[in-house]
Structure formats: structure tokens, C-alpha cells
Amino acid sequence: MFPLAFPLIASPGALSAAVLLTGRARDWVETAFIIMMIGLCLIFTYLAMRAADALLRCLGQTGADVVGRISGVFLAGLAVQFVFGGLQYHPFGQ
């Protein structure tokens, strides 16, 4: 196993998203759904890693760069949403 695989897959952003979503869950059904989605993401990640060579050949270097940049934009949008959500639930001065 590649030693940096855990930090690249379970980055601080992914761990923060899992903690925040689980903290907002109202009951065990929502918590179970979040855990199932994390498992589904892990399965997709595993399958993507197994097919990485074929995906890179299919996408090419430019396509892989585009997918990486689009993923970065989605992650930045999620981070902004969490910041605004945190400010909404914890306003300063109260």
C-alpha cells in the first residue's frame, strides 16, 4: 500500500465533511445513510484506483487535469457552504 494513500483519500476536508454531516444528522436513519454513502464513496474510490491506468488512457493527461480542477472547485464550494452553515448556527456576539 502506498504510504500517502490514507491522507490523499481521507483528507482533512473529507473527514471534516463526514464529521459535520454526522453532527447534523437528526436520528439514526440519517446517520446510517451517511455511513452508507461513505462506504459507497470508498467502493467507487477503490474501483477508480483499480482502473486508474485505463481511465488515464481514456481521459488523457489533459482530461485528468480537467477532472482534478473540477473536483477542486466542488471541494471549494463545499468548504464555503460549511463556513456559511457554521456562521448561521453560531452567529458571533450571541
pTM for this prediction:
0.56
Q: Where are the domains of the chain?
A: 11-88
What is the full per-residue pLDDT of the chain (94 aa) written as tens digits?
455 556 667 777 777 778 888 888 899 999 999 999 989 988 988 898 899 889 889 989 899 899 889 988 988 888 788 788 777 766 564 5
Which cell numbers hold the place of 39? 462506504
Cα separation of 21 and 76, whole Å? Answer: 16
Please give the pLDDT value at position 28.
Answer: 92
